[in-house]
């Protein structure tokens, strides 16, 4: 019998779904791995376990370590699992935020922080696009083809200018086989950036999103809008959740083994009405 491949717990934000998927994978490979077997190892009544899997009963915290051992989790995976259970049982905003941040700390990605002298990278949207394209496209000097890969397409001159700049900034390098590769998978300015270049880049990406509404098929994009009312506290929480979402997207991108496309993800939160002074009635 070959090795049983269980789901990666770090891909989950739902402890019950993780357990259910693990159980199904083990049971499919070994029919003897049943509710009764789990009872013999972890002391959880089969009827109660069934209700846990259905979402009608909570997973007992004292059984978490036993289940982690049963499914062969290592120390780091077990710690994540313990926090995941607490996250799913949390009811207050403070607790949810606390445990979510702990979960994200297990999945921190390696980011190269751009220095102010490298902010030239953001002066043209296609500099960023070309760099992302070079993470999966074997470019060896055909600027015409490279230019045609951006959406919208750019000129050969612009493509060459982008490659020259990216090499100068150290964001790409030329390999011995003549192809170009990126030096770092992910880049960031950090949260406390101050630059006209970055602000202009953000304006450009917003404009590109507008063009995408008419120029790109709906199945190849996702552009949606929600309008809400928020208190001062709610506004700060919304900003924090957006920050956490960006981290999740970076972590997702970092896990891609064979990327086939480059995408902008714009997240926007801005006022559409003036703040009302004083307390609401």
**Which three-class secondary structure state does DSSP give residue 173?**
strand
19, 130: one domain:
no
Residue 1 inside a domain? The answer is no
Residue 217 inside a domain? The answer is yes
- The pLDDT assigned to 280 comes to 47
- The pLDDT assigned to 278 comes to 62
- The pLDDT assigned to 107 comes to 65
Q: By C-alpha distance, which of 103, 73, 94 is closest to 236?
A: 94
Any idea of the CA torsion for 179, 181, 183, 185, to the nearest 10 degrees?
-170
Question: pLDDT tens-digit profile of 65-106?
Answer: 999 998 899 998 999 999 999 998 888 888 888 888 788 777
Q: Given its phi and psi angles, is residue 190 left (phi above 0), alpha (psi -120 to 50 degrees) or beta?
A: left
**Which among 105, 122, 154 is the end of a domain?**
105
Length of the chain measured in residues: 281
pLDDT, the chain, mean: 87
Residue 278 inside a domain? The answer is no
Question: pLDDT tens-digit profile of 246-281?
Answer: 888 887 887 787 888 999 999 999 898 887 776 544
Q: What is the percentage of the chain residues whose pLDDT exceeds 70? A: 94
168, 238: one domain:
yes
- DSSP-derived letter for residue 33 is -
Total domain count, the chain: 2
User: Residue 87 is part of a domain; what is its CATH number?
Assistant: 1.10.260
Residue 86 inside a domain? The answer is yes
d(C-alpha 160, C-alpha 181), whole Å: 15
117, 254: one domain:
yes
96, 128: one domain:
no
- The pLDDT assigned to 1 comes to 45
Are 101 and 86 in contact by the 8 Å Cβ rule? The answer is: no
93, 121: one domain:
no
Are 167 and 160 in contact by the 8 Å Cβ rule? The answer is: no
Any idea of the CA torsion for 189, 191, 193, 197, to the nearest 10 degrees?
60
142, 198: one domain:
yes
With vertex at residue 191, the alpha carbon angle to CA 187 and CA 197, rounded to the nearest 5 degrees, is 70
Q: Is the peptide bond before 152 cis (omega within 30 degrees of 0)?
A: yes
d(C-alpha 270, C-alpha 281), whole Å: 24
d(C-alpha 261, C-alpha 220), whole Å: 11
207, 98: one domain:
no
137, 244: one domain:
yes
Question: pLDDT tens-digit profile of 175-184?
Answer: 999 999 999 8
Expressed as residue numbers, the domain containing 98 is 9-105
Mean pLDDT of the region 188-195: 68
29, 67: one domain:
yes
Mean pLDDT of the region 196-223: 90
- The pLDDT assigned to 281 comes to 43
**Within a 10 A sphere around the Cβ of 90, how many other Cβ atoms?**
15
Question: pLDDT tens-digit profile of 108-156?
Answer: 566 677 888 888 999 999 999 999 999 999 999 999 999 999 999 999 9
Residue 80 inside a domain? The answer is yes
132, 16: one domain:
no
Are 103 and 13 in contact by the 8 Å Cβ rule? The answer is: yes
**Sequence-separated (6 or more) residues with CB below 8 Å from residue 247:** 104, 109
């Amino acid at each position: 019998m070959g090795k049983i491949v269980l789901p990666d717990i770090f891909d989950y934000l739902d402890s019950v779904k993780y357990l259910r998927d693990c159980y199904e994978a083990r049971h499919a490979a070994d029919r003897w791995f049943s509710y009764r077997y789990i009872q013999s190892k972890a002391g959880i009544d089969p009827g109660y376990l069934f209700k846990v899997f259905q979402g009608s009963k909570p997973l007992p915290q004292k059984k978490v370590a036993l289940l982690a051992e049963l499914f062969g989790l290592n120390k780091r995976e077990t710690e994540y699992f313990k926090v995941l259970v607490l996250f799913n049982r949390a009811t207050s905003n403070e607790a949810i935020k606390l445990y979510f941040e702990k979960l994200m700390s297990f999945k921190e990605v390696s980011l190269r922080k751009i220095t102010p002298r490298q902010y030239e990278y953001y002066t043209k949207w296609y500099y960023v696009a070309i760099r992302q394209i070079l993470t999966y496209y074997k470019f060896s000097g055909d600027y015409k083809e490279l230019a045609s890969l951006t959406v919208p397409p750019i000129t050969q001159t612009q493509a060459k200018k982008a490659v020259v700049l990216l090499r100068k900034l150290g964001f790409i390098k030329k390999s011995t086989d003549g192809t170009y590769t990126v030096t770092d998978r992910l880049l960031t300015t950090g949260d406390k950036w101050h630059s006209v270049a970055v602000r202009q880049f953000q304006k450009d990406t917003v404009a590109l999103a507008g063009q995408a509404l008419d120029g790109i098929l709906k199945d190849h994009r996702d552009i949606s809008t929600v309008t809400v009312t928020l208190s001062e506290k709610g506004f700060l929480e919304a900003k924090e959740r957006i920050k956490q979402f960006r981290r999740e997207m970076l972590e997702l991108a970092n896990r891609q083994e064979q990327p086939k496309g480059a995408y902008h993800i714009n997240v926007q939160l801005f006022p559409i009405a003036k703040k009302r002074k004083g307390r609401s009635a």
